[in-house]
Structure formats: C-alpha cells, structure tokens
Copies of this chain bind each other. A is one copy, B any other.
C-alpha cells in the first residue's frame, strides 16, 4: 500500500512538481504520464527515497521500495546469472528458479552482460526486480528498447507474479504496456514559479 500526500519535489534545486497526491493499493499499478520534462523521473526518484521531498509525505512499508531506471546496475563483465545472484544475495533472498525463463534469458545465462543487445540487457535489468523480493516498485521507462514480445513478457511478469503476490508498482512510460491500470497525468501538477520549498527558497 503506497500513499502519497501533497508531495512537492525538485530537480537541481528547482521545484518541478507540487501537490501530487495519490494512493496505490496492494496489487495495484499506477501509470505516470506526461510530456518530456514534466518531472516523471524526478517524482519516481523522490518516491524511492533517492532524493528528499520538498514537502509532503510518501508512505509505504519500510524496506520494500525498489527503483529501476535506464541505469539498472548491470555489470558488463559479469554473466547474466552472476548479475542476478549478486542482487539476490544483497537482498538476502533466493533467486527464483524460473526467473530466467520469465524474461527469456535462459539461452543467455552464461553470456557476459556486456555482450547483450540493448533489449536483452534491458530484460536482464527487469529480471532483477523479480529477484530482490521487494513489493513496491518504482519503474522509470522500463520498456525502453524492448520489442513487442518482450513488452508482453514484462506485462505478464508484472501481472502474474508481482501484483498477484500483493506487490504494487508506479511506472512512468510513454508507450502502452498492455496492463489495465489507472493513469495519472502529471501536467496539472507542474510547479509554478511560486511553489515554496526549493532549496534556494531562503534567497527569494
């Protein structure tokens, strides 16, 4: 269960969004929409706790959040399996046996991640989400570079494994994921020049 109340967040010290409120129940998904530069990435990073909020609260079960973006921590000189095992160990969880199959990585399991194509690497990054056992996912454009088939793999994973087990997700994307979920357009929440709380506020 994720509850966001009256959140304002900033990028580079400048308020970008303000007054964002929503709630996502367990087993639910929220899709963030909005034109380039509206602040999706900023919002997701704030939700995941990677940057402090200007004001407002983000509430979800402690130690259950996970953030994933383009930079998904895949090491080029480790194999696919080594990459996944590492993250499983860090999170103290076991790697599910079928996770490679879920993301169609079985034939690639012993390949160095650096030799994967863009889409294959992306699938590996997504497979990490199935390994760390976190319930609250914050995903920034998870399907970049994926072909239609892989997008479906991802949607299936999300629906059948993550949400079915009581997980939830907030996803920023520009494309249609094939998941039936409420959407939130961020355009109305764009911070005006008067938004308070910027780190440079004392100077105005």
Contact = CB atoms under 8 A, between A and B. Distances in A.
A122 B34 CA distance: 16
Contacts of A116: 37
B36 A150 contact: yes
Contact of A36 (B35, B115, B145): B145
A178 interface: no
Contact of A35 (B41, B115, B147, B174): B147
Q: How large is the interface on A (under 10, 10 to 19, 20 to 34, 35 or more residues)?
A: 20 to 34
A146 B40 CA distance: 13
A35 B149 CA distance: 8
A101 B12 CA distance: 25
A141 B145 contact: yes
Q: Which of A119, A120, A122 is most buried by chain B, counting CB atoms within 10 A of its CB?
A: A119
Given A36-B123, A41-B118, A144 B144 contact: yes
A172 to B, nearest CB: 10
A117 interface: yes
12 contacts: A11-B115, A36-B118, A36-B122, A36-B145, A36-B146, A36-B150, A39-B117, A70-B118, A119-B174, A141-B145, A144-B144, A148-B174
Interface of A: 11-12, 34-37, 39, 41, 70, 115-120, 122-123, 141, 144-150, 174-175
10 smallest A-B Cβ distances: which pairs? Answer: A36-B119, A37-B117, A35-B147, A36-B147, A147-B174, A37-B120, A144-B144, A12-B115, A36-B120, A36-B117
